[in-house]
Structure 1
């Protein structure tokens, strides 16, 4: 397109030069050339404008600057998303904002609530809503609707609900308390134990076992479309439920400039020292590290994994395998 515009502009320049050389010719011929010039300009100028502004408009569309949707439209899309998967709880839309990324549209924030075993539970949730006309397969849909069409499992689309289902299941809280009370803090000077949580490992090789329980629960009409109840201890044995130990690591001055590989070696040493002879069952655990330099938090997103066997750390993993 740009090349075509340049060619047309070159032709215009040649016409103008030729016009100057033949200015002494008859008035009738000059008028014809003027009309020719006007005709060419009427073609070239719109093409130049289109060429210059088209990429800008495309970027504006891609970044969601033209996105528009009413609150009602967004609420209806979210309700469709839950209904697709058979979830029967209530959704309250709290806020939404434009999604200034390559997908365009909106980010929807809200709260999902459902009655589970006679008690109402709430969980924060988030959706993407697509409004790009050029993407017919996603236009006017949430990311959950697109995932449903692509056959994704309910726990992959709503991991926060899968987490809730395990969290409030009978026995989960007691299991975590047992693990927490098993920890005897060795009082390491740089490592401070903070407490315990868990994560739901939907990438486990044994996730088919979770699916079997899910289907059985669904056949019984259980809450959260079968994601409740779940046996945390059983899922722990299958590396689907991963207890997470949380730490504060106060990095000594002499170790603040360590290369990453050296940092991992030092972290593995600390983990082996901390978990040595702790009365923990054999299995896979996560460790969440909040790094401090003196009293300043510099990183709180470090999550690693340790395999414990015979009350010893046998392996430190950077990520789940």
Structure 2
């Protein structure tokens, strides 16, 4: 166990990130104890005022000078480490280069602090990919940005620090072979090496969380997992050889199975575990739709393969409700609890 704090990044200040962070401190003090916000005091003060009920005093926001001061703040107070220059809060629900830069700067600071061993884990509030691009950030999202930071810290080429996205809730876990790319490019990414690498990362990372070797199911790429080559040969030519290679390495891997049924087989329900601990999906939407359908409010995004712990809620910036005070913090709270577990806090 460690007494190091957990850094929660601000996210895009024009979205719901600051609001759900404030609600997490308000509603889940056990989860947020020892956490701090890597972000902007002004944005968090606006959020704290937004989530205070009628007739109730707003939660205070305390400016801290370093991560290790997070546990020193009094009750009903949100510790914030100012990462950017002090801002006048940006307008809600507007894509801007400024908001994208603020969000990226917070993630960069937190990831570097984690790599230096100054924080136990990083929980990232949602950022907006268009704002990130407008700010000139050369990565499409958190996962790729964190991978680049880890590679630079380790002094390795990017390809030598492979990472994968896992989305998890109480009923299901799924790990993706590819992440943010077009569907056409995602099909091309279903290679022997990528599938085998995903299985290895899943075995190591999920196994570390479970304390035992996980039982891994593999989803096919094509309908009915190709139906013996009738609906495509990717299973025969690529996926099955990768599964067999993983099995020879001692991994508990099964499939590929028809993607329209394998998630049902893996689902835990009524207090009973599913047939599999985790499903490896071939592309982004194949894996995320079934998990999100079970409840976005409980899903947690975990980046596997990094030399740091990173979790996040499984939703975006929700510009349509930003500033309204109705955003649900459940997924962020679940992400903080997951970070505490993985970071052994």
On whether the aligned pair clears a TM of 0.5, the verdict is: no
TM-score by length of 2: 0.19
User: Could you state the TM-score of these two structures normalised by the residue count of structure 1?
Assistant: 0.20
